[in-house]
Amino acid sequence: MSGNKNNFQLRVYYEDTDVGGIVYHANYLKFFERARTEWLRDKGITQSFFLEQNMGFVVTRMEIDYVASAKLDDLLIVTSLISEYKRASLVFSQKMTDQNQQLICSAIVRVAFVDLSKSRPCPIPKNILGALERVS
């Protein structure tokens, strides 16, 4: 797993699907977030640690292209990379494919680091930014 690229695998369950027979479109956003969360965890960064200090990453913009539909029991892989590092925000580029290497959807996600008590962006701590940029 390189420093600024990450793979995350997940399974599609009944809870994720809808009556159209496919994964409900809003649920892909959960999958993308799980992938970002596990990547941060790999880097030693847990969101609950930030929460105790009333800080957290908040999604401020998202572009998502739905290319094909995932289905029940699919084993999906989310590939993520950080395409932009700023003082108080990051941009993730993420792709999701299924077990047949079929591209399901792709997303560009801007997350801001936010002081939740004031609902205001604040600088990402230096050691966090460092950990994210480091190629391991």
In angstroms, the CA 51 to CA 55 distance is: 5
Chosen residue from 2, 5, 9, 13 binding its own copies by CB under 8 A:
13
Residue count at the site for its own copies (CB under 8 A)?
Answer: 41
18 is an active site residue: yes
The single residue of 18, 65, 73, 115 carrying the catalytic annotation is: 18
- Stated as kind and residue range, the H or E segment containing 56 is strand 55-66
Chosen residue from 42, 73, 84, 115 binding its own copies by CB under 8 A:
73
Chosen residue from 77, 116, 129, 131 binding its own copies by CB under 8 A:
116
List alpha helices for the chain, DSSP H.
27-42, 47-52, 126-133
In angstroms, the CA 63 to CA 109 distance is: 7
Work out the end-to-end distance of the chain between its first and last CA atoms, rounded to an integer number of angstroms: 7
Catalytic residues: 18
Give the binding site for its own copies (CB under 8 A). Answer: 11, 13-15, 17-22, 24-27, 29-30, 33-34, 37-38, 46-48, 51, 56, 58-66, 68-69, 71-73, 116, 119
